[in-house]
Structure formats: C-alpha cells, structure tokens
Structure 1
C-alpha cells in the first residue's frame, strides 16, 4: 500500500452503513444528478455494493473520499465492478484516491476475486494497472463509452475472455 504525506492524517476503513449519507453527498458533488442515468448506476440498481470490498477515507471526523465495489457477473464469469470512486476536491491529487484504489484491489484479491472492471478515465486508471477491455466485450445495461471500460486482472489471464452482459451474481 502506498503511503500518504503524514500531514494529511487520513485514515482508511471499511465502509459501514454510517457512511452512506456522506458517500451519497460526495457522489452528488462529484458526479451531479446525471450519475443516475449512467450504465454503472443501472448495475448498482440490480445489486448492492459489497461493504467488505468498499472503503472510506477520513481525516478525523471529516469525510474525505470513498470507493465502492459490487460483485457481478460478466456473462458467465464472476467479476467485481469498481465505482464510484470519489475524493473531496481539497484532497484530490494527494494520493487518497490511489490509496483507496489499492485497498479495493487488495480486498478483492484477498476475497478470491479474479478481475475488476470499471468505467472511467484512462489517464487516471491505466497508471494504476487497469487496461482497456475489447470493444463490445463487457455489455453494460445502458449507454456507455466503451473506450472507458477498463479492467484489472487480479490473477494472470483473468481478463482474457471476460465478456457478456453485466448482471447480478
């Protein structure tokens, strides 16, 4: 896990129900009302995120950021959909998001998951090990820019053949 500058004093913990309101408020701030029309939101309507794979960042009592993961099927294969990842503007670029991503990947790997996918910005996620998935391989339940569907293999070869409609497990 990466280390953050000590002066930030950020602590990372598993998400609990007590964080729901703060996560929703941050998601609203980061992604606006349009977030509900996105394909990833359609997936989250089908099945809830998994708190054992989701984390928050706190600075004392101040909520700094969060990452959520949802166990899904991609065709006939289990996978994890990551998102949303959100960090308060004052903490962007300081490593909190990258730390949350590392924790999420580690938790998924330890839980026996083999692959994570997300819909996101290549410039941010590719340096974290994510790679573009082939066009029309992961079929989201709604419109999505396929160039933004990225995957992370948690075991060698886990992204090969990952294809099909995304749905609940």
Structure 2
C-alpha cells in the first residue's frame, strides 16, 4: 500500500461541513453539552489560527482556536482537536497542535491558550493545570482544565471566569 503524505493547512470556509461530520464521528451528539463547546458557541473561531490535516483530499483532522477572556486576560480556547478515528495514533493531532500554537505565537494574538483535555497528552506541548482562581462557566473536572502561557505571567493575571468574546 502506498503511504500518503499529510498536509496541514489553514482551515478554509469550504471545510466546515467536513469538520462538523468529523466532530460528529469523533465525539457524538453529547459534544454540544460539554462546557468547552458551550463556551465556544458564543464566538467564532479564528480562521488564521485554525488548521486542518489532509491525507490526499480526505480531511482527517482539525484544530480550532477561539478568542476568549480569562477574567480580564485575553486568551484563546483550543479545541476541539479532532482526528478521524481511523487515523488516530499517527501523529496527526500533535502536528495540528504544534502548527496552531506556532501560529498563535507568530501572530501575537493572545498571551494564554486554554483547553479541557488529558494532561498527560497535552503536557508535551507545555500545558499545565489551571489554578483554581480561574474557572470555566460550567462543570469541568479541574484536573482537565489546562493552560499554556505564550507570554510570561499571563496565567497569574488570569483570574475569575472564562467568557467568550462575541463576534
């Protein structure tokens, strides 16, 4: 069998239906009830910081970054990071993570990236648990609420509730 190469590119408007179907396969109908999903409902993701992974013409992964306020601190909410189940454990999620974080740093959009996820997976990208003085607007296991500082001291300045930035 021929090995197909992976292409990571900026998300395009024409990708939205394929990404929605990918989210449905990966997370099921319960995805809309999750706190992080509810938070992202109130604001559009940033297309220049959101990426897709393609194998040939098949969209096999996606990551999105959405602007939020962490208390009064500008931040980004990462997610969902999604990989087509048949393509998991091939480095696609890691490649998407690295590209999105690199773009956030390059463009200087915000000082902090937040997400809800498994610390053992995200630790390799520099994420750590969020202190208890920053909360999401809904139930979340505090061990899964993680942050990556893009600017020194950003996490110390982020106190209070995380809120979506409306369009």
After the TM superposition, which residues 37-116 of structure 1 pair with which residues of structure 2 at under 5 Å, given as runs? 37-112=33-108, 113-116=110-113
Determine helix, strand or coil for the equivalent of 1:142. coil
Give the deviation of 1:96 after TM superposition. Answer: 0.8
Provide TM-score, normalisation by structure 1.
0.91
**What is the rounded CA distance, in whole Å, between the counterparts of 1:138 and 1:104 in structure 2?**
23
Moved over 4 A (4+): none
Determine helix, strand or coil for the equivalent of 1:44. helix
1:124 aligns with 2:88: no
1:134 aligns with 2:131: yes
- Which of the residues 100, 124, 142 maps onto 1:146? 142
1:19 aligns with 2:15: yes
Number of matched pairs = 163
Match of 1:160 in 2: 156
Give the deviation of 1:85 after TM superposition. Answer: 0.2
Give the deviation of 1:83 after TM superposition. Answer: 0.3
**What is the rounded CA distance, in whole Å, between the counterparts of 1:50 and 1:138 in structure 2?**
23
Give the deviation of 1:8 after TM superposition. Answer: 4.1
Deviation per CA, 1:38-65, whole angstroms, max 9, x where unpaired?
1111111111111111000001111110
**What is the rounded CA distance, in whole Å, between the counterparts of 1:143 and 1:40 in structure 2?**
9
Determine helix, strand or coil for the equivalent of 2:162. strand
Determine helix, strand or coil for the equivalent of 1:72. strand
Structure 1 residue runs without a partner (length 5+)? 1-6
Coordinate RMSD, CA, aligned: 1.5
Structure 2 residue runs without a partner (length 5+)? none
**What is the rounded CA distance, in whole Å, between the counterparts of 1:116 and 1:58 in structure 2?**
24
